[in-house]
Amino acid sequence: MTKANGNDVVRESQRSTQQHAEGPAAMLAIGTANPSGVVIPQDQFADNIFRVTKTDHLTELKERMKRICQKTGIEKRHFLLNEEAVGAHPDFLDRELPSLDARIDMVATAVPKLAHSAATKAIAEWGRPVTDITHLVFSTYSAWQAPSFDLRLATLLGLRPTVSRTILSLHGCYGGGRALHLAKHLAENNHGARVLVACAELTLVCFGAPDGSNLVGTALFGDGAGAVIVGAGPFREGERPLFEMVSATQTTIPRTEHVLGMQVSGAGVDFHLGIQVPTLIGQNIKQCLVDAFNTGSLVDAPPFSDWNDLFWAVHPGGRPILDNIDTVLKLEPGKLAASRHVLREYGNMSGATIVFVLDELRRRRKETEGDSPLPEWGAMLAFGPGITIETMVLRAPPLNEN
């Protein structure tokens, strides 16, 4: 074996350094989309779902559903599945009948198509050729095939055959946070990488007749897709960081697997949402934030003295979750306004929802920069099965810095 000389060591060190980006990853563009099929006002949802599923005779259950809908903080939701499609699939209404194959056939085309709508918006805003995308991370709870939606989306967009693809399946509501966390690492550890994060969710995989166990989930979830372009320095001509992704952590609350989860069966996906979820998140959220802000360069110089010094991008899993976070962190009114707006306008779109919140924050920042500017530092939170909490420290560079 030949012993390396000093110049060889230096050259190897330089090659290693060149593999890494300059500075933290950043979100460079954001796009969102909803199916154009059905928009149901929340105050009409109970009557609609019981009529469509031929369960109008369950009057007590319908009244219970109406009360739940009134408390959600949701005004309307978007759905791909329409009444005609439900009529063509009576197997969707009976959990004893196998319907998984039919559901897979429907989402195989619809989910990538919805993701494509969001991704094309993000790519257009980014302003770079689609061939500059080096990595694709796709998150969904509807993917049960191989090759999966990541390849179908790559084909629809015309990505290079050498694009590095990753599919995240059944992460549920923390899927968007997990995908962004992974994209941060990919961008920072691969010099010149540009990562497309895509999240798309359709409730038709879990659609069924209301019963005593699924009312809350039925009253909360809607359809949507979000996409984010993530990259790190050096930035190219026209690229403008929207949010720097400074540090990120993932925490699983011990012994909570039974509280929140999803199960795939012959009849589709069953959601289990325990009533303890908002309380458990509230009890653990402060430590998750402390851990995220005590990572890397922020350990010696935390950028805030009070939680109200930050801006907030929180997954609106439900109104009680947001209310608990407000209470635990003693947040001022309006701190979770972007999350509450998205919940009100779209409901909970699972992993895609956090992208809508980031888009809403970006929009509000642009509109109020002169009068009431967004704080420079912020936090992103997403929650899902496990119970798993994704936490990310964000920095919004001053507009003139971009």
HSE, CB side, 13 Å, CA atoms: give it for residue 88: 8
β-pairing, 268-273 with 311-314?
unpaired
Residues paired with 263 in a beta bridge: 270
Catalytic (active site) residue 173: yes
Which one of the listed residues 69, 173, 199, 288 is annotated catalytic? 173
User: Hey, what amino acid is at 385?
Assistant: P
Q: Which two tokens stand for residue 268?
A: 């589709």
* Cβ count near 208 (within 10 Å): 18
In sequence order, the 6+-apart residues with CB closer than 8 A to the CB of 333 are: none
Q: Using CA atoms, how far apart are residues 280 and 321, in angstroms rounded to an integer?
A: 9
CA dihedral (95, 101, 106, 109) positive or negative: positive
* 22 close to 45: Cβ distance less than 8 angstroms: no
Q: Using CA atoms, how far apart are residues 401 and 241, in angstroms rounded to an integer?
A: 9
β-pairing, 377-384 with 311-314?
parallel
Q: Which of 200, 229, 220 is nearest to 351 (CA)?
A: 200
In sequence order, the 6+-apart residues with CB closer than 8 A to the CB of 392 are: 177, 180, 181, 184, 245, 246, 247, 248, 249, 292, 379, 380, 381
Q: Which residue in the block uniquely carries the two structure tokens 């290693």? A: 16
β-pairing, 224-233 with 260-265?
unpaired
Query: Strand, coil or helix: what is 82?
Result: coil
Q: Which of 389, 218, 247 is nearest to 314 (CA)?
A: 389
DSSP 348: B
Report, as residue numbers or ranges, the catalytic residues: 173
